[in-house]
Chains A and B, each alone.
Chain A
Amino acid sequence: MSTLEIRGLQVSVNTDVGAVEILKGVDLTIKSGETHAIMGPNGSGKSTLAYSIAGHPKYSITGGTVTLDGVDLLEMTVDERAKAGLFLAMQYPVEVPGVSVSNFLRTAVTALRGEAPKLRTWTGEVKDAMEALKMDPSFATRNVNEGFSGGEKKRHEIMQLELLKPKIAILDETDSGLDVDALRVVSEGVVRAKEANNLGVLLITHYTRILRYIKPDFVHVFANGKIVEEGGAELAEKLEANGYAEYVGS
């Protein structure tokens, strides 16, 4: 049983015109097995929340705490946070030229487990994960995210989620750029990871359609750098009907 606890998180980003405050005090607790959806308009700070928890160097933490099972994540390097059990599925996964998917996955799993996996078992795990996400076997020999379509990038992110077995996963707009079929395949992957590892999920999205496949236990509305309303799955339906108009400008 794991708990990601975010308390009073304030984050600013460094720009040409100085530091700009993006997150203005975020409180959120995610436990194993729970699915939390964060919904909000563009520019509300949803991605900043995801990236600052993962430790992206662009962001400065100016206040608050983030702990995983009581351990301070903000003091850790990016790789230490991953080793602590955090995973971030990115909206725009980065190309790493010349590094094959299979080499990348093996390096990551070796780092996370502290030892190289047994080759035969690992090859089988990768093969199963790829099949489950309806990915062609040739995928493993391609360079990380290089020339991937939008859908391939997202499948690759969720494949890592299934293989690397984190405790808490943040999914940043995993639904963006996916057609209906890909959305279903990717969502099923998330649900499998949840069931297999009692994963806690923080699902960041602009739209409600992914919530048809990944049922949220809690929905948080995000606007202007903080959570402005919270509720259950029914809140998402209200947003579907009314949009974010009532939260914007507040």
Chain B
Amino acid sequence: MSLLTTNYLTPTGREEAWRFTPLKRLGGLHDGTAKVGDRESLSFKGGASGVSFERISRELTTSPAETDDVVMQRVREGARNVATLTIAANTEVAETITLSRSAHGLDSAEFSRVRIELGAHARATVIMENTGDAFLAEDVEFVLSPGSNLTFVSLQEWNTGSTHLAKHHAIVDRDASFKSITVTVGGSLVRLLPSVEFIGQGASCELLGVYFATEGQFFEHRMFVDHKVPNAKSRVNYKGALAGQGAHTVWIGDVFIRAAAEGTDTYELNRNLLLSDGARADSVPNLEIETGEIVGAGHASTTGRFDDEQLFYLMSRGIELADARRLVVRGFFNEIVTEIGDVVIQDRLMDRIDGELAKAGS
């Protein structure tokens, strides 16, 4: 398993897609030198009727989309199976489906392929919970048939030493809607590539995310929304906080409106809160438009510090500085965290965010 024979173009760091990523910290995932173990850490919970989970041998399945990411190419070649979650057509799954990974160790890498397929007019919420020590490269694909609706929550609550590279690629057909909520609060290096490809009119996506990087952590969220067809709608909103020396986050929002994609409606937003010196937030929204016949296209990016006026207002009501900061940071993330819709998870994340803030010594 550890020997990969195919010759891939190894990134040098000069490529647009890799220019922010510290390649030296990837443990050889990018250049094929990583030792790859034979591990399948993903487990499934939530057996309802119309829901199936099976590991399909890679020889028996074809990926619905090509990938140009070298790490994902290695994953596709190296992973033995594709963990496939299928929601049958016209099935509305009331209970949240949970896919979880925990504690797999850092000595060798895991290559993992996951596919989530929704039949026509199916509706489900899937949460992917990631905890423990990870050295993971993961290719996650979503296939949303016409009229289906998926909410996908991805929680990166890794331990300190973890390295996690993943692509989340959603193919969204006519009148289907895909909503993803990505939370990255743990790990040494996390690089996630959420992407959406619209293939039918009336499709929509909402890509939401929060991240909180402290000392030495590198978290990259690089998205790509491909408007290939007319009348699709996309919304992106990522919020991040950073504190501590060497905390580094990268947010890239690429949106491509092709010539055929008349009636496109897109807006993307990234906001960062710098809570200390020595942290760096890169934020690059990028809109490429080939047709003017659209409903709207816009983006915004802001990076700021604590607002003294907010802190003064709260403190003037007797609230101590540390508590005032905590309120402001919780409030900053609240808009997106509450979208998860699971109070237990939301409380756990907010506590983790409090912990990160306390760790940052504010």
A interface residues, Cβ below 8 angstroms from B: 54-58, 77-79, 81-83, 87-88, 90, 93-99, 103-104, 107-108, 111-112, 143-144, 160, 164
Measured between alpha carbons, how far is A143 from B328 in the docked complex, in Å?
A: 11
Further 17 A-B residue pairs, CB within 8 A, beyond A79-B317, A94-B313, A144-B313: A54-B316, A55-B312, A55-B315, A57-B308, A79-B318, A79-B321, A79-B324, A82-B318, A90-B313, A93-B313, A94-B309, A96-B314, A96-B328, A99-B331, A104-B317, A104-B327, A112-B318
Q: Is B334 an interface residue (CB 8 A)?
A: yes
Q: Is the interface of B mostly helix, strand, loop or mixed?
A: helix
Q: How far is the CA of A68 from the CA of B96 in the complex (A)?
A: 56
CB contact list, B315-362 vs A, under 8 A = 315-321, 323-324, 327-328, 330-335
Contacting residues, chain B, for A94 (C-beta < 8 A):
307, 309-310, 312-313
* Residues B332 and A98 in contact, CB atoms below 8 Å apart: yes
Contact with A along B219-230 (1 / 0, CB 8 A): 000000000000
When distances are taken between beta carbons in the complex, the residues of chain A under 8 Å from B327 are: 96, 99, 103-104, 107
Chain A contact surface mostly: mixed
Q: Which of B307, B319, B333 contacts A79 (CB 8 A)?
A: B319
Q: Are B317 and A164 in contact (CB under 8 A)?
A: yes
Interface residues on B, range: 20 to 34
Contact yes or no, A96 B315, CB < 8 A: no
User: Once the chains are docked, how many angstroms separate the CA of A53 from the CA of B76?
Assistant: 65
Give B330 Cβ to nearest chain A Cβ, in Å.
7
Interface centre among B309, B321, B330, B333 (most CB of A within 10 A): B309
Q: Which residues of B contact A87 (CB under 8 A)?
A: 316
Q: How far is the CA of A158 from the CA of B47 in the complex (A)?
A: 53
A19 to chain B, nearest CB (A): 18
Query: Contacts A79-B318, A111-B320, A164-B318: A99 and B313 contacting too (C-beta < 8 A)?
Result: no
Contacts of A90 in B (CB 8 A): 313, 316
B340, chain A: closest CB distance, angstroms: 14
Partner of A99, one of B307, B315, B320, B334: B334
Checking B312, B319, B333 against A111 with a beta-carbon cut-off of 8 angstroms, the contacting residue is B319
Contact across chains for B328 and A108 when beta carbons are under 8 A apart = no
Q: Which residues of B contact A160 (CB under 8 A)?
A: 317
5 contacts across the A-B interface (CB closer than 8 A): A57-B308, A97-B332, A98-B334, A104-B317, A108-B318
* B330 contact set on A, CB distance < 8 A: 98-99
Cα-based distance from A107 to B313 in the complex (angstroms): 13
Name the residue on A nearest B331 (C-beta).
A98
A137 to B112, CA, bound (A): 50
Contacts of A58 in B (CB 8 A): 308
State the CA gap A57–B318 with chains docked (Å).
16
Instruction: Please indicate the chain A residues that have their CB under 8 angstroms from the CB of B317 in the complex.
Output: 79, 82, 104, 108, 111-112, 160, 164
**For residue B320, which residue of chain A has the nearest CB?**
A79
Residue of B nearest to A111 (CB): B318
The 8 closest A-B pairs by CB, nearest first: A98-B331, A98-B334, A78-B315, A82-B318, A108-B317, A99-B331, A94-B313, A111-B318
Residues B335 and A97 in contact, CB atoms below 8 Å apart: yes
Known contacts A93-B313, A94-B313; A83/B318 CB under 8 A = yes
Question: Smallest CB–CB gap between A33 and chain B, Å?
Answer: 22
Assembled-state Cα–Cα distance A77/B321 (Å): 9
Chain B residue at minimal CB-CB distance from A78: B315
Residue of B nearest to A164 (CB): B317
> Could you tell me the distance between the alpha carbons of A108 and B318 in the complex, rounded to whole angstroms?
6
- Bound-state CA distance A57–B310 (Å) is 12
Q: Within the complex, which residue of A88, A104, A112, A143 is in contact with B314, where a contact is CB–CB below 8 Å?
A: A104
> Which residues of A lie under 8 Å from residue B313 when comparing CB positions?
90, 93-94, 96, 144
A113 to B308, CA, bound (A): 24
B332 to nearest A CB, angstroms? 6
Find out whether the CB atom of B319 lies under 8 angstroms from the CB atom of A107: yes
A79 to B313, CA, bound (A): 10
Nearest chain B residue, comparing its CB with the CB of A94: B313
Most buried by A among B319, B320, B332: B319
Point out the residues of chain A lying under 8 angstroms from B332, CB to CB: 97-98
**Complex interface: chain B residues within 8 A of A111 (CB):** 317-320, 323
Assembled-state Cα–Cα distance A60/B74 (Å): 61
What is the 8 Å Cβ interface bit string for chain B, positions 281-320, against chain A (1 contact, 0 not)?
0000000000000000000000000011110111111111
With A57-B308, A107-B319, A107-B327 already in contact, the answer to whether A98 and B335 are too (CB < 8 A) is yes
Which residues of chain A have C-beta atoms less than 8 A from B333's C-beta?
98
Q: Given A94-B310, A94-B313, A96-B313: A108 and B335 within 8 A (CB)?
A: no
Question: Please, how many angstroms separate the alpha-carbon atoms of A61 and B355 in the complex?
Answer: 36
B315 to chain A, nearest CB (A): 4
Q: How far is the CA of A160 from the CA of B318 in the complex (A)?
A: 12
Closest to A160 in B: B317
Question: In the assembly, what is the distance between CA of A244 and CA of B322, in Å?
Answer: 44
Q: Which of A81, A88, A93, A99 contacts B328 (CB under 8 A)?
A: A99
CB-based contact B331/A77 at 8 Å: no
- Say which residue of A82, A97, A107 sits within 8 Å of B316 (CB atoms): A82
Report A-chain residues with C-beta under 8 Å of the C-beta of B320: 77, 79, 111
- Complex: how many Å from CA A144 to CA B327? 11
Q: Is the CB of B315 within 8 A of A77?
A: yes
* B88, chain A: closest CB distance, angstroms: 38
